[in-house]
Amino acid sequence: MRLVLFDCDGTLVDSQVMIVSSMTRAFESAGLAAPPREEILSIVGLSLPIAIARLAGHRPGASVETLVEAYKASFADLRNSTLHREPLYPGARETVEALAGRPDTLLGIVTGKSRRGVDAILAHTGLGDAFAVVRTADDAPSKPHPGMVLDAIAAVGADARRTVVIGDTTYDVEMALAAGTRAVGVTWGYHHRADLAAAGADRIVERFDEVAIAVDDLIGPGET
Ligand SMILES: [Mg+2]
């Protein structure tokens, strides 16, 4: 059995508008200058308290707890409004459906997003049935801790040696390698190609239709 674990933000869906807007609002509501967009995008993938602690670290007077609550409230407001926008990347649906249809392959999601956030995305994309296992910031320590991956492997009875993590950040790559799985870095998300390579990604892909090929290369083809 092969297991292919996808990161969510920056890998399956482009949530940067939502994340940058919510973070900006959270900082402004606390009377603080919002971090620059590039800095906000660099922490996407970490669990929220850790991400916000990093952003707030050098801003005096910032309470991480207050900012986390403000971010969550702001994100929920946006999600429930007409401004909600977390589109799948081009080719994501086709690749997920094709891989999920292979009898020897299970799919999962490993993400720093909340369970509620992932559920909303699976509901609006209709892809919920494609994923056998979902592990979120609510279930495990923040990436790059390998717990999320190890837990997903155990939940479906897979094997780390036939598991690949697909992600857009160095946190995904470090998590995958720490769990003993292979790692595919994707360049359409929020970290730079050179950083993914330096973190030790086994393959780096630039388009979604290269993902299935990279998976076959790394852990062998499933039954088709
Ligand atoms: Mg990501």
Ligand 1 centroid vs 27 CA: distance in angstroms?
22
**Looking at the structure, do residues 71 and 109 belong to the same domain, yes or no?**
no
Q: Mean pLDDT across the stretch 110-130?
A: 95
Indicate which CATH number applies to the domain containing 23: 1.10.150
Between 57 and 132, the more confident residue is 132
Ligand 1 centroid vs 186 CA: distance in angstroms?
9
Count of domains in the chain?
2
**Looking at the structure, do residues 154 and 64 belong to the same domain, yes or no?**
no
Which residue range is the domain that position 65 belongs to? Answer: 16-79
Between 221 and 182, the more confident residue is 182
Residue type, 95: T
Indicate which CATH number applies to the domain containing 112: 3.40.50.1000
Q: 92-113, pLDDT tens digit by residue?
A: 999 999 999 999 999 999 999 9
Residue located via tokens 């649906």 = 93
Q: Are 211 and 205 in contact (CB under 8 A)?
A: yes
Ligand 1 centroid vs 217 CA: distance in angstroms?
22
What is the predicted pLDDT for the residue at 89? Answer: 98
**Looking at the structure, do residues 134 and 39 belong to the same domain, yes or no?**
no
**Looking at the structure, do residues 49 and 143 belong to the same domain, yes or no?**
no
**Looking at the structure, do residues 111 and 100 belong to the same domain, yes or no?**
yes
**Looking at the structure, do residues 69 and 165 belong to the same domain, yes or no?**
no
**Looking at the structure, do residues 141 and 180 belong to the same domain, yes or no?**
yes
Is 224 contained in some domain? no
Is 69 contained in some domain? yes
- Residue where a domain terminates, one of 44, 61, 79: 79
**Looking at the structure, do residues 116 and 194 belong to the same domain, yes or no?**
yes
Residue type, 43: I
Q: Which residues are annotated as catalytic?
A: 7, 9
**Looking at the structure, do residues 32 and 96 belong to the same domain, yes or no?**
no
What is the predicted pLDDT for the residue at 58? Answer: 72
Ligand 1 centroid vs 41 CA: distance in angstroms?
9
Residue 105 burial (CB count, 10 A): 22
> What single string gives the DSSP state of each residue in 178-201?
HTT-EEEEETTSSS-HHHHHHHT-
Ligand 1 centroid vs 68 CA: distance in angstroms?
19
Residue 163, strand partner residues = 3
Is the per-residue pLDDT at 61 higher than 80? no
Q: What is the pTM of this model?
A: 0.95
Angle at alpha carbon of residue 41, lines to 76 and 183, rounded to 5°: 105
Residue 83, token pair as written in the block = 């401004």
**Looking at the structure, do residues 51 and 99 belong to the same domain, yes or no?**
no
Ligand 1 centroid vs 43 CA: distance in angstroms?
9
What is the predicted pLDDT for the residue at 75? Answer: 95
Q: How confident is the model at residue 57 (pLDDT cuts 50, 70, 90)?
A: confident
Alpha carbon of residue 165 to chain centroid: 10
**Looking at the structure, do residues 101 and 180 belong to the same domain, yes or no?**
yes
What is the predicted pLDDT for the residue at 222? Answer: 67
- Residue where a domain terminates, one of 37, 59, 79: 79
**Looking at the structure, do residues 34 and 96 belong to the same domain, yes or no?**
no
Measured between alpha carbons, how far apart are the two ends of the chain, in Å?
12
